[in-house]
Amino acid sequence: MSLSEQEIFEKVKQVIVKQLGVSQDEITKEASFTDDLGADSLDTVELVLALEEEFSTEISDSEAEKLTTVGKTVEYIQKNLK
């Protein structure tokens, strides 16, 4: 499966909308999950679980902790998607 950065961004957006209940246009690459999108720490854990499912991948605890913004998350998925 080879996805462009834009395609990944769109998929990530959909997962965020579903998990955090925010609207599409609030989701920019710069947006921080906790500061801008209103996620608490447990929400971010669930978001990572949902992303793992969406992209059929595994994200370790130490990597997951670094994924604080939408942009970082898209970048990580693009790099690590097989």
**Cβ 55 to other proteins shortest distance, Å:** 14
DSSP 26-62: G--TT-BTTTTS---HHHHHHHHHHHHHHTT----HH
Which of 42, 60, 79, 82 is the binder for other proteins (CB under 8 A)? Answer: 42
The verdict on 63 binding other proteins (CB under 8 A) reads: no
Tally Cβ neighbours within 10 Å of residue 68. Answer: 15
Instruction: Choose, by CB under 8 A, the member of 45, 71, 75, 78 that binds other proteins.
Output: 45
Comparison of 52 and 75: residue with beta carbon closer to other proteins: 52
